[in-house]
């Protein structure tokens, strides 16, 4: 994925104190690098690296350029050369580890992380990096729940990403396949918007002539379209004239530079073309970036990525609410349920309450991972990592879906056709009926979409399949969320039904600890259903600890992990009809 679109990017030179031709090759390369013009600086550094006994700083800069241009195999080769030099900067070991993780060389990555963190400390960060390696190895070894394939019709040898729905059967996405003008950072074309209509792909028609928001050529995209298909929110690199952009206040820079940040623009559709572009009210290109818009199903909440004041991390997900007059209210941070001290970006909304977003801050497989969270605005159930193969050791982002079963995502994983590619996914575990035991032989069954009024029995408990929890955890797992979604439908279709959600643990740990843990698990399940829209007064959360084991696995009894997991369950007890 293009790090250029992760906010705070596009830095260009404003002036020099002497002419370019007076600079040495090393000075020129350093100046280009300082301006993020990695494509131009790389060729100069490579020439210098070919000299006899090149400076280690030159080799490091070659490796850095390849990494920042997303050329990971070349980056690994050059960081390996750097790693052998005792004078190399400690940070080079870190970046070498990151590249090794991305290239799925987990044991080598762990060794390089250790070298780096032994020098700088930060035990918590070191533990998180080792956990990422372990998670990647573990998840890639499991039977995959999703089938992920390259969506070849959208992809080229260039960077193609950020697919979004556009009407009933159409799509819009971002690509740098047009090489008419080049980005000095990557050497590739500028990003532009493309559409897919009835399987035919072409550049999206934008009426930009005469509009100051498009007075020159920089990056455009991604884009999200509202449900009625007449309004869009587009991320662009600001085209503001250099004289209107403040220079950066950084004493460490040799040059006077300014930053071209991202902004959101609002467009409307007329006669099949997008135009009438207006700047989002909270853009501020001299101070922070705004981009990556997502809309709630009813169009009343706008989510976006920004590093504006009040952010928790490097970039956060924020939201605005539409006011009575149609204007957007002041931005509000989505809070620590979503945002970390690292980067969160690329939010998308599915249905009325499901947020998908990319993060580097939550536990994952390395790079950006995709997470799912249920909720709205600043209230969310703890995000769930979508795991492999939705995620990989590369950057994974921009997941869209209507139903959670099929959809698309973007990734720069190694199997792609280009730098970034669009992938399609399908949950190949078929949707199954909910089975609720109603006595010895009486099984009530609810198929999705059908009316369901079973003969519930007051005071009886019913076990839902797969509402399980990880050891010592209370968060809702993806498999549990599927079952709770089915319970939600039953509660929705039977509005007078009141239940107790009864949660249980296995026998490990103390009785008191397990009782408290089970209570947290029951409360977590209730909170999930409340966010889905079920009145809290209809549900009671009750933890039973290890007092109601369903197998032999009591204290001191040797059991497998699978046997213990059967006790980490949630049951549904009918309180009233």
Supply the DSSP string of 106-156, one letter for each residue: HHHHHHHHHHHHHHH--HHHHHHHHHHHHHHHHHHTSPPSEEEEE-GGG--
CB 427 within 8 A of CB 419: no
The whole-number pLDDT of residue 542 equals 87
More confident residue, 101 or 466: 101
**Amino acid 231: pLDDT:** 96
Q: What angle do CA 309, 305, 377 make, to 5 degrees?
A: 90
pLDDT at 502 over 70: yes
Fold classified for 434-576:
60s Ribosomal Protein L30; Chain: A; (3.30.1330)
Q: What would the mean pLDDT of 290-317 be, rounded to a whole number?
A: 97
Confidence of residue 341 (pLDDT cuts 50, 70, 90): very high
**Mean pLDDT across the chain:** 85
Cα 110 to Cα 419: distance, rounded to the nearest angstrom: 26
**Do 194 and 202 form a contact (C-beta atoms < 8 A)?**
yes
Give the CA distances from residue 6 to residues 99, 235, 316, 343, 395, in Å, rounded to whole numbers and listed in that order: 19, 11, 11, 9, 12
pLDDT at position 475: 56
pLDDT in tens, 171-207: 999 999 998 888 888 888 999 999 999 889 999 999 9
Segments making up each domain of the chain, as ranges: 3-140, 146-247+257-427, 434-576
* Residue 414: band (very low, low, confident or very high) from pLDDT cuts 50, 70, 90: confident
| Sheet arrangement for strand 396-401 | 146-150, 421-427, 406-411, 396-401
Distance CA 420, CA 410 (A): 7
**Which residues 6+ apart lie within 8 Å of 269 measured at CB?**
229, 230, 231, 232, 275
pLDDT band at 13 (very low <50, low <70, confident <90, very high): very low
57: left (phi over 0), alpha (psi -120 to 50) or beta: alpha
List b or e across 105-144, with b for residues whose CB sees 16 or more CB atoms inside 10 angstroms: bbebbbebbebbbeeeeeeeebebbbebbebbeebbeeee
**Run of H or E residues at 34:** helix 25-34
pLDDT at 142: 86
Mean local confidence (pLDDT), 328-349:
97
Q: Which of 43-57, 330-344, 494-508 has the lowest mean pLDDT?
A: 494-508
Pairwise pLDDT comparison (417 vs 294), residue with the higher score: 294
SS3 551: coil
CB-CB contact of 362 with 341 (8 Å): no
Query: Top-level CATH class of 146-247+257-427?
Result: mainly beta
| 316-321: strand order across its sheet | 290-295, 301-306, 316-321, 332-333
Task: Please give the average per-residue pLDDT across 287-291, as a whole number.
Answer: 96
Name residue, tokens 């949630």.
570
pLDDT tens readout for residues 369-382: 999 999 999 999 88
Q: Which band of pLDDT confidence, cut at 50, 70 and 90, is reported for residue 23?
A: low
Tokens of 339: 């945002």
Strand partners, 147: 426
What is the model's pLDDT at position 404?
Answer: 86
Q: What is the mean pLDDT of residues 236-246?
A: 89
Class of domain 3-140: mainly alpha
Is the peptide bond between 389 and the residue preceding it cis, with omega within 30 degrees of 0? yes
Does residue 302 register a pLDDT over 60?
A: yes
User: Lowest-pLDDT range, 36-40, 163-167, 200-204, 543-547?
Assistant: 543-547
Which of these ranges, 131-140, 208-217, 264-273, 399-408, has the smallest mean pLDDT? 208-217
Report the distance separating Cα 234 and Cα 204, nearest Å. Answer: 12
- The per-residue pLDDT for 242 is 85
Q: Return d(Cα 187, Cα 181) in angstroms, integer.
A: 9
**Percent of the chain topping pLDDT 70:** 88
pLDDT at 3 over 60: no
Which among 187, 244, 180, 181 is positioned nearest to 32, based on CA atoms? 187
Most trustworthy range by pLDDT among 78-82, 505-509, 520-524: 78-82
Q: Which of 194, 157, 200 is nearest to 174 (CA)?
A: 194
Strand partners, 355: 349, 373
């Amino acid at each position: 994925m293009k790090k250029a679109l992760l906010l705070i990017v596009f830095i260009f030179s404003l002036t020099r104190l002497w002419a370019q031709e007076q600079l040495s090759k090393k000075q020129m390369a350093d100046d280009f690098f300082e301006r993020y013009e990695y494509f131009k600086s790389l060729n100069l550094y490579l020439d210098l690296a070919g000299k006899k006994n090149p400076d280690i700083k030159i080799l490091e800069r070659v490796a850095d350029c390849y990494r920042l241009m997303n050329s990971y195999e070349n980056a690994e080769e050059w960081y390996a050369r750097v790693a052998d030099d005792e004078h190399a900067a400690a940070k080079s070991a870190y970046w070498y580890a990151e590249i090794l993780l991305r290239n799925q060389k987990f044991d080598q990555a762990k060794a390089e992380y250790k070298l780096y963190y032994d020098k700088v400390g930060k035990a918590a960060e070191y533990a998180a990096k080792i956990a990422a390696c372990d998670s990647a190895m573990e998840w890639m070894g499991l039977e995959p729940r999703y089938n992920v394939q390259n969506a070849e019709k959208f992809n080229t040898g260039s960077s193609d990403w950020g697919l979004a729905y556009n009407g009933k059967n159409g799509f819009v996405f971002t690509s740098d396949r047009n090489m008419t003008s080049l980005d000095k950072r990557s050497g590739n074309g500028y990003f532009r918007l493309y559409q897919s209509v009835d399987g035919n792909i072409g550049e999206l028609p934008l009426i930009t002539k005469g509009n100051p928001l498009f007075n020159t050529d920089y990056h455009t995209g991604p884009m999200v379209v509202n449900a009625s298909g007449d309004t869009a929110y587009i991320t662009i690199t600001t085209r503001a004239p250099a004289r209107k952009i403040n220079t950066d206040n950084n004493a460490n820079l040799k040059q006077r530079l300014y930053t071209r940040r991202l902004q959101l623009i609002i467009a409307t559709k007329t006669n099949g073309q997008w135009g009438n572009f207006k700047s989002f009210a909270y853009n501020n290109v001299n101070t922070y970036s705004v981009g990556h818009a997502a809309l709630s199903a009813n169009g009343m909440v706008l989510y976006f990525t920004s590093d504006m004041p009040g952010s928790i991390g490097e970039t956060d997900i924020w939201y605005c609410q539409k006011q009575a007059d149609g204007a957007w209210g002041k931005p509000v941070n989505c809070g620590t349920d979503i945002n970390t001290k690292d980067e969160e970006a690329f939010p998308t909304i599915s249905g009325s309450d499901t947020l998908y977003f990319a993060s580097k801050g939550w536990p994952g497989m390395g790079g950006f991972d995709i997470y799912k969270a249920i909720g709205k605005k600043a209230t969310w159930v703890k995000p769930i990592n979508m795991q492999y193969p939705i995620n990989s050791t590369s950057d994974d982002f921009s997941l869209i879906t209507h139903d959670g079963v099929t959809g698309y995502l973007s990734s720069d994983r190694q199997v792609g056709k280009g730098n970034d590619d669009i992938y399609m996914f399908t949950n190949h575990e078929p949707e199954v009926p909910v089975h609720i035991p109603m006595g010895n032989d009486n099984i009530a069954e609810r198929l999705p979409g059908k009316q369901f009024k079973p003969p519930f029995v007051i005071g009886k408990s019913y076990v839902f399949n797969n509402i399980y929890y990880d050891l010592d955890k209370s968060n809702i797992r993806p498999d549990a969320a599927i079952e709770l979604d089915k319970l939600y439908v039953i509660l929705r279709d039977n509005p007078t039904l009141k239940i107790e959600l009864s949660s249980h643990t296995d026998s490990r740990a103390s009785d008191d600890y397990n009782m408290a843990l089970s209570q947290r698990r029951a409360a977590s399940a209730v909170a999930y259903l409340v966010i889905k829209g079920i009145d809290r007064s209809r549900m009671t959360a009750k933890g039973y600890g290890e007092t109601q084991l369903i197998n032999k696995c009591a204290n001191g009894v040797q059991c497998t992990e699978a046997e213990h997991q059967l006790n980490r369950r949630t049951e549904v007890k009918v309180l009233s009809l």
